[in-house]
Amino acid sequence: MNHLYLKIRNITKETAEAITVEFENPDNEPISYQAGQFLTLIVNIKGESVRRAYSLCTSPLIHQHPAVTIKRIKGGLVSNYLNDTLKVGDTVEVLPPMGVFTTEFSENNRRHLVLFGGGSGITPLMSLLLTTLQSEPKSMVSLIYANRDADSIIFKKKIEDLQIQFKDRFNLVQIWEKTPLFWSKGHKGLLNTKMIRKILDSLPKSTAEATEYFMCGPNPMMEVIQKAFIELKLPLDKLRKESFGISPEEAATKKASILEESQKNNVPTEGYEVTVRYDGEEHKFMVPPDKSILQTALALDIDLPYSCQSGMCTACMGKCVAGKVKLDEEDALTPKELDQGYVLTCVGHPMSEGVVIVID
């Protein structure tokens, strides 16, 4: 995969915890991407090369220069490093834009996009929102945006400006955990089924031929939305999800369950040999039960594609053409991809002998 070396053109402080970093290609080649995709930033911290995914918050149809917004995570290695050290003029190594949290845009579309965003989850939604308003004159967008309080809202002013510019086609519903006294701009507290029902009922009735839902935010918020969709009998297949990561507790639960699964499948302590075909080469290596296929490959200096390393982004996707692989996170793949045998090497564990994975 060709790595890009992009120059930082501008940095904007969005909130006390988040910056937006705008890039340009020093070669003057345009950086082509689709709304909703992400960049993988590769940085060297204390001699170690680390990668993290950051969604593009810009629209390819509007902005000449792509940008990502990076919010600090408490104790987080890369988000804090980037917030603390990036400067205009720096060059950053990135992987080309990737991701499937996007949609086909057409000026003939007549649809209602309902976007559920929480905190920094607004970034890919902002890209989808801007692109829809710009390119689909007959479509409408509703943004249901949950934040801790007024000061933590990323893109507050930009969103307020869009409300004025597109008042007939853009509708904002705010949810704040902490509100000032006599606040009447939206809903107070955390999103729950009752609130979701109320919000969806209150959205302007559109003449849309179809309603499509996108969500990106903290995992507990997205679980509430998914459950509400089931309870309210809303079409789950129309609800698209982008997850940014998992908490240490969720990671520990997943690890425990994969070890249990390995025991159930009588996986030997030394694990199974896996064959990975990628970039014209074939690699064979043993994967022990407590390591993923990607983790093992990287430890052996085998160059495989990846970004998030937590089953969220699909950068490491390959097709399992023989043997059995268990994923400890499969949300990023569609049911069709799972049926076709696609796996994510970063969260994939061999459960049988003879596993062969082909990565395009």
Ligand X SMILES: Cc1cc2nc3c(=O)[nH]c(=O)nc-3n(C[C@H](O)[C@H](O)[C@H](O)COP(=O)(O)OP(=O)(O)OC[C@H]3O[C@@H](n4cnc5c(N)ncnc54)[C@H](O)[C@@H]3O)c2cc1C
Residues near ligand X (CB under 6 A): 38, 52-55, 68-71, 73, 75-80, 99, 120, 123, 242, 244-248, 251, 308, 312-313
Choose the one of ligand FES, ligand X, none that binds residue 86, judging by a C-beta under 5 to 8 angstroms depending on kind: none
Residue 120 binds: one of ligand FES, ligand X, none (C-beta under 5 to 8 A by kind) = ligand X
Q: Which is nearer to ligand X, 129 or 274 (CB)?
A: 129
User: CA-CA distance, 345 to 343, in Å (whole number)?
Assistant: 6
Amino acid at 214: F
166 secondary structure, DSSP code: T
Task: Tell me the window of 8-16, 127-135, 280-288, 305-313 that interacts with ligand FES (CB under 6 A).
Answer: 305-313
CB of 68 to ligand FES, least distance (A): 16
Distance CA(168)–CA(204), nearest Å, equals 10
Window contacting ligand FES (CB under 6 A); options: 63-71, 104-112, 199-207, 300-308: 300-308
For residue 316, the partner it binds in ligand X, ligand FES, none, with Cβ less than 5 to 8 A by kind, is: ligand FES
CA distance 83 to 18: 7
| φ/ψ of residue 77, rounded to 5 | -70, -60
Choosing from 244, 274, 309, 327, the residue that interacts with ligand FES (CB under 6 A) is 309
If one asks whether residue 332 binds ligand FES (CB under 6 A), the answer comes out as: yes
Nearer to ligand X, 77 or 150 (CB): 77
306 binds, among ligand FES, ligand X, none (CB under 5 to 8 A by kind): ligand FES
Please say which residue, 132 or 307, places its beta carbon nearer to ligand FES: 307
Q: What letter represents residue 333's amino acid?
A: L
Q: Residue 98 interacts with ligand FES (CB under 6 A)? A: no
DSSP 193: H
What DSSP designation does 323 have? S
Task: For residue 54, list its beta bridge partners.
Answer: 39
Alpha-carbon gap, residue 97 to 78, rounded angstroms: 19
Beta-strand relationship, 140-147 and 170-176? parallel
Percentages (nearest 5) of helix, strand, coil residues in the chain: 25, 35, 40
Rounded-to-integer distance, Cα 272 and Cα 289, Å: 8
**Contact status: 287 vs ligand FES (CB under 6 A):** no
Which residue in the set 60, 121, 311, 350 belongs to the binding site for ligand FES (CB under 6 A)?
A: 311
Binding site for ligand FES (CB under 6 A): 306-309, 311-316, 332, 344, 346
